Amino acid sequence: MPRRDKRKYTDKQKRQAEHIAEGYEERGDSKKTAKRKAWATVNKETGGGKKSGSGRGKKMDTTPSKKGGKKGGKAAAKKKAAAKKGAKKKGAKKKGGRKKKS
């Protein structure tokens, strides 16, 4: 199977990857990067593509998704705080005005 071939993934895994990629795009990643990160997350959670045979069923490990959500939340909070600080500083500069020559 060539690289980037998604035929061996279940429909659920494909849906998960699409949803995760949308989240990365909302955070500002490019489509290509978002897609790559999404599939990496799906692979980490589910262990890759379809598995067959006795005893191959494994529970999903959702810790990568939780980690990403926490990271994104912290980053977004920092951006908002920085934007607020920047707005206050800009406002303070404008209030001073020009000095008159005497």
pLDDT tens-place string over residues 42-55:
988 888 887 777 76
Residue 61, pLDDT score: 79
Distance CA 30, CA 66 (A): 21
Portion of the chain with pLDDT greater than 90, in percent: 24
Closest CA to 56 of 45, 47, 65: 47
Q: Is residue 16 a contact partner of residue 42, using CB atoms and an 8 Å limit?
A: yes
pLDDT tens-place string over residues 21-40:
999 999 899 999 999 999 99
Domain boundaries, the chain: 7-47
Residue 88, pLDDT score: 57
Distance CA 16, CA 60 (A): 12
pLDDT tens-place string over residues 41-87:
998 888 888 777 776 767 777 787 777 667 666 666 676 677 777 66
Q: How does the average pLDDT of the chain come out, rounded?
A: 78
